[in-house]
Amino acid sequence: LKKPELRQNLVTRQWVIISPQRANRPHDFEKKENKKETLPRYSPKCPFCRGNEKWEGSAEVLRIGDKKNWRVRVIPNKYPVLLKEGVREWQVSGIKRKMTGIGIHEVIIESPWHNLSPALFSQQQIIYILQAYKKRFREIAQDKRLEQIIIFKNHGEAAGTSLIHPHSQLVATPIVPYQIRFRYEEAERYFDNTGRCVFCQILAEELSAGERIITQNKHFVSFVPYAALSPYHIWIFPKVHACSFQNITLSEIKDLASILKDILARLYFGLDNPAYNYIIRSSPLDISQSDCFHWYISIVARVTKSAGFELGSGMFVNPLPPEESAKFLRNVKLD
Ligand SMILES: [Zn+2]
Ligand SMILES: [Zn+2]
């Protein structure tokens, strides 16, 4: 691909400009972020470090491992975007539409150690983290005031993290946010028109094309989407159709941990620990079975910045053709 090309993401109907002449080579995007090797394993000031827990009056909601030697902890976010207590109240008056700011905001502390990059976690540690995600998801899904759960991770300053200690977050909202609603509606439309899940369709075609696949195992596939918004934008899809993350089985969790560890290691070693976000996209909570929606993980390496054109058009410019992103990541040498 030499000339610019517009590509459409079937999941969002969003257009992206693949613009290779704006880039030089993959290593131009490499950017050092947050080198953890120079940080201490334990920091006396860090609230997430093992040894600094405030067990008295602790609001801990989940712990994996025993009290002293815990592996993963989940605690309420100290500065939540939404408050847990309250009634879901919806009000419309003229142009004003509002709802009480209720919801859940939790922090998943991914490791007892301050300086360990998630790319270097053991597979077992990632299994614990995914099990914590699942447990919290299933429990919070029982709260009838809430409509959506978003689990995400910000790694590195450019990805918006404020604390270095490895952690991810869960936010449950009383409405279905635009990003999910829009995807869900598109998936329904696609299903109405074709009788197929758009995600299953993408998966089948990506597997047969092969050029954007990074890696796969029994239950999961990682690949760079055809209309990737930015360099090294990665999707991880479960191979078997399922609309919600909350029904993931233990053998699927093991495979997901393995593929996630592999992808994070490819980013870490191939691009020298770039900042990234990952998001688990799952169906709205009132939809427990759906033939049209398919849960997945989106990983966005923060190696390019969006600016006025993106804000003005909603259209991203990706200087690295998705096939080249995939090839680069496929070829990263791991031990
Ligand atoms: Zn810490
Ligand atoms: Zn599907």
Q: Find the length of the chain.
A: 335
Gap from CA of 112 to ligand 1 centroid (Å) = 7
Which ligand sits closest to the CA of 107?
1
Query: What is the distance in A from the centroid of ligand 2 to the CA of 214?
Result: 20
Q: Above 90 in pLDDT, residue 32? A: no
Per DSSP, the residues of 17-84 read EE-GGG---GGGG------GGGS-S--TT-TTSTT----TT----EEES-STT-SEEEEE-SS-SSBS
pLDDT digits (tens, 9 = 90+) for 283-303: 999 998 899 999 999 999 998
Catalytic residues: 167
Across residues 228-255, what is the average pLDDT? Answer: 97
Over 60: is that where the pLDDT of 142 sits? yes
Q: Fill in the amino acid letter for 23.
A: A
Whole-prediction pTM: 0.93
Residues contacting 208, CB < 8 A, separation 6+: none
Q: Residue 35 — pLDDT band, cuts 50, 70, 90?
A: low
Per-residue pLDDT, 29: 54
Q: How far is the CA of 123 from the centre of ligand 2 (A)?
A: 26
Among all bound ligands, the one having the nearest atom to the CA of 165 is: 1
Residue 27 CA to ligand 1 centre (angstroms): 31
Neighbours of ion ligand 2 (CB under 5 A): 197, 199-200, 241, 294
Ligand that comes closest to the CA of residue 202 = 2
Q: Is the pLDDT of residue 33 over 60?
A: no
Q: What is the rounded end-to-end Cα distance, in angstroms, of the chain?
A: 32
Whole-number Å distance, alpha carbon 7 to ligand 2 midpoint, is: 22
Give pairs for 26-30: CB < 8 Å, separation 24+: 26/231, 26/320, 26/324, 26/325, 26/328, 29/231, 29/232, 29/271, 29/274, 29/301, 29/303, 29/304, 29/320, 30/271, 30/272, 30/274, 30/303
Q: What is the chain's mean pLDDT, rounded? A: 92
Taking the CA of 239 as reference, the closest ligand is 2
Residue 280 pLDDT greater than 90, yes or no: yes
Band (36; pLDDT cuts 50, 70, 90): very low
Burial track 71-81 (b if 16+ CB lie within 10 A, e otherwise): bbbbbeeeeee
* Residues 311-323: tens digit of each pLDDT: 888 889 999 999 9
Distance 18 CA to ligand 2 centre (A): 26
